[in-house]
Amino acid sequence: MTTSADETLREQPDWRFLMRRPAHFLAFGFGSGLMKKAPGTWGTVAAYPLFFALHALGVGGWWLAALCLPLFVFGVWICDVTGKALGVHDYGGIVWDEIVGVLLVLAFAPATPVGWLLAFVLFRAFDIVKPWPIRWLDARVPGGFGVMIDDILAALFALAAQAAIWAALH
């Protein structure tokens, strides 16, 4: 998350802020983004109940990956609306990007606890470290698209690492 010098938090987000608009509630990952420590990690955790519900309905693989596209487009809007309301375009508590990113990684994770855990660890690692070009985009692309795109790239890096790890093990 990069905050420019001209961005000032207009209000401290809380449950009242989240309940004001559904976009805020979703952007904050159903409230998980309100966590003071590691909101991105908590946002990633918040994706798992959604993933397990979709998994139970048989939505996985390419179907889940395809679902990530409208979730991404919707995320551009909700993250933009919430960032503008806060006055900070990529406030740390905005975690819809983590939800969509990890769902994309989970789409191709082996359907085992180890597969789901590895998807989590790889996605968080790439989202935190932000290797090039992720960090470059994070610093330069504004608005809701900027919030979302770096996590999709982190997901793509995690997918590549996940595929390499599982190929090496089998």
Predicted structure pTM score: 0.94
For the chain, the straight-line distance linking the first and the last C-alpha, in angstroms and rounded, comes to: 36
Is residue 43 within 8 Å of residue 95, measured between CB atoms? yes
pLDDT score of 58 more than 80: yes
CA distance 44 to 105: 11
pLDDT tens track for 103-157: 999 999 999 999 999 999 999 999 999 999 999 998 999 999 999 999 999 999 9
For 37: left if phi > 0, alpha if psi spans -120 to 50, otherwise beta; the answer is beta
Supply 132's token pair. 């090039």
CA distance 28 to 56: 25
**pLDDT score of 4:** 53
Q: Is 39 exposed, middle or buried (0-12, 13-18, 19+ CB in 10 A)?
A: buried
Assess whether the previous peptide bond of 133 is cis (omega < 30° from 0).
yes
Helix axes 39-56, 96-106, angle to 10 degrees: 50
pLDDT score of 7 more than 90: no
**pLDDT score of 2:** 46
Q: Report DSSP state, residue 27.
A: H
pLDDT score of 6 more than 80: no
**pLDDT score of 170:** 85
**Nearest 10 degrees: Cα torsion 87, 98, 42, 109:** 180
pLDDT score of 1 more than 60: no
For the segment 27-36, the average pLDDT, to the nearest whole number, is 98
